[in-house]
Amino acid sequence: MSVSLHALKTLPRSERYETLLLLVDSQLHAEKDRVATLSNLSSLMMGLVDDLNWAGFYLFNGEELVLGPFQGEPACHRIPIGEGVCGKAFASREVIKVDDVLTFPGHIACDSASRSELVCPIVVQGEPVAVIDWDSPHKARFTEDEVILIKGIAELIAAKWIQLTD
Ligand code: SME
């Protein structure tokens, strides 16, 4: 499925976020390969959420989080559960919004440009399986609008997770 982000980037924020959710759902219905699907979702998130320098996934391998499809600078390959913003969001099964990463104890710096971060676990049948991670070069970039959006994306992925194959 081909999607051109150029025109969509000019939409007002609320319409852009609604469109992003529709496109995420459509990608999840179009393809069952996990890497292919999450790769396109990374592109959609990076393209349609303003002021991100990193957007992607860390996937649970049964022991720790491993870097999945993403857009942005090369990132750390593995994050232990309970460590960093990603490992803490995964362990707590809660969204973590960090307004200033320099003040977050244990923050793992992958891109030194990152100043704020939003991480949402993907929870399937009560168990976390992955996280979505967004970084921004601006302090306090993320608002309640982005929390609602990232949770919506995580719920759509969770609903299709079992059907996605390696
Ligand atoms: N900052 C994250 C690590 C991943 S990068 O931001 C891509 C963390 O503290 O878990």
Q: Which of 110, 118, 132, 142 for a ligand 1 pocket mutation test, highest count of atoms within 8 Å of Cβ?
A: 110
Among 42, 81, 86, 120, which residue has the most ligand 1 atoms within 8 Å of its CB, making it the best to mutate? 86
Q: Does domain 5-163 have CATH number 3.30.450.40?
A: yes
Contact 104, 89 (CB under 8 A): no
29 CA distance to ligand 1 centroid (A)? 29
Nearest CA residue ID for atom 5, ligand 1 = 110
Q: Whole-angstrom Cα distance, residue 161 to residue 154?
A: 10
pLDDT tens figures, 142-163: 999 999 999 999 999 999 999 9
User: What are the residue boundaries of the structural domains of the chain, listed by start?
Assistant: 5-163
Q: Report the predicted TM-score, pTM, of the whole model to 2 decimal places.
A: 0.97
33-55: per-residue pLDDT in tens? 999 999 999 999 999 999 999 99
Three-class HEC string of 45-112 = HHHHCCCCCEEEEEEECCCEEEEEEEEECCCCCEEECCCHHHHHHHHHCCCEEECCHHHCCCCCCCCC
